[in-house]
């Protein structure tokens, strides 16, 4: 069963990586399709996910929300350790491994971030970042049904990270699905305070913000204005 999962990852990731390298400069060649998916996701968010997130935010005390956030961050440290090895960034892999071991034990499965208090800094990365280090281009922007904005590279990375994440290997289906649902609602609750920052065309606002965030992320925090030439050509709409 596990072997078939890894085969599925290779089947999905490798064609996406090759396709991503062949894309033209336009970061959003599928804008018509993406806008349709954005509308679908917006309806799902407005009538299901956002109300759940608001209810969760209202009834859950801040310390509990921090604990939930720490729990999922600890799971991401596990993925970061794997990607640190794949990137040959041994210091990052060691940091993530150390954080995961400390927080999973002393921090009670990661509910308490003991590692940070001990001076073990997080190394935040994912397989999309790994693909970037390997030389794979970001590829076109995609609005994925239910999951939101991605690029071909980050989408392929999401598939890999999902199949190498801790919840995937929890045999209890109810517990596994509950964790994924909690992660979705908790993450959406964290975005509630940012909604007032959006202006103009919401689709373009979210697209540009996501692309810029990913470029900064895969460049280790270094801001690069890779889209300035494209804006000057008049191909991007104003906010």
As a dihedral over the C-alpha atoms of residue 91, residue 93, residue 98, residue 101, rounded to 10 degrees, the angle is -170
3-state secondary structure of 157: helix
Q: Where are the beta strands (DSSP E) in the chain?
A: 141-144, 148-151
Q: Which pLDDT score is estimated for 193?
A: 86
Are the CB atoms for 173 and 50 separated by under 8 Å?
no
Q: Which pLDDT score is estimated for 24?
A: 52
Q: Name all contacts of 84-91 with Cβ < 8 Å and 24+ positions apart.
A: 84/123, 84/125, 86/127, 86/130, 87/125, 87/129, 87/130, 87/133, 89/123, 89/125, 91/123
Residue 141: beta bridge partners?
151
Q: Which pLDDT score is estimated for 169?
A: 93
Q: Which pLDDT score is estimated for 7?
A: 41
C-alpha 120/C-alpha 97 separation (Å) is 10
C-alpha 30/C-alpha 27 separation (Å) is 9
Are the CB atoms for 128 and 149 separated by under 8 Å?
no
Residues in the chain, pLDDT under 70: 1-24, 223-239
Q: Which pLDDT score is estimated for 10?
A: 44
**Whole-structure pTM value:** 0.80
Q: What would the pLDDT profile of 168-208 be if each residue is shown by its tens digit?
A: 999 999 999 999 999 999 999 999 988 878 888 999 999 99
Question: Which residue in this structure is represented by tokens 């034990």?
Answer: 105
Q: Which pLDDT score is estimated for 121?
A: 94
Are the CB atoms for 203 and 38 separated by under 8 Å?
yes
**What's the Cα-to-Cα distance from 22 to each of 26, 137, 197, rounded to whole Å?**
12, 8, 34
């Amino acid at each position: 069963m596990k072997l078939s999962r890894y085969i599925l990852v290779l089947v999905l990731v490798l064609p996406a990586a090759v396709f991503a390298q062949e894309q033209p400069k336009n970061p959003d060649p599928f804008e018509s399709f993406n806008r349709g998916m954005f509308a679908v996701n917006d309806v799902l968010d407005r009538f299901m996910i956002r109300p759940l997130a608001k209810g969760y935010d209202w009834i859950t005390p801040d310390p509990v929300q921090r604990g939930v956030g720490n729990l999922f961050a600890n799971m991401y440290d596990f993925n970061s350790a794997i990607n640190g090895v794949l990137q040959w960034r041994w210091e990052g892999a060691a940091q993530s491994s150390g954080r995961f071991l400390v927080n999973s034990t002393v921090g009670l499965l990661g509910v308490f971030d003991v590692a940070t208090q001990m001076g073990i800094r997080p190394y935040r990365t994912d397989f999309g970042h790994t693909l970037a280090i390997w030389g794979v281009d970001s590829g076109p922007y995609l609005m994925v049904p239910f999951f939101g904005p991605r690029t071909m590279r980050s989408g392929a990375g999401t598939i890999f990270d999902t199949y190498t994440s801790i919840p995937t290997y929890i045999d209890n289906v109810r517990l596994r699905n509950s964790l994924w649902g909690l992660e979705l609602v908790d993450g959406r609750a964290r975005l509630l305070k940012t909604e007032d920052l959006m202006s103009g065309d919401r689709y373009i606002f979210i697209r540009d913000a996501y692309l810029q965030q990913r470029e900064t992320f895969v460049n280790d925090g270094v801001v690069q204005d890779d889209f300035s030439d494209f804006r000057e050509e008049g191909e991007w709409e104003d906010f």
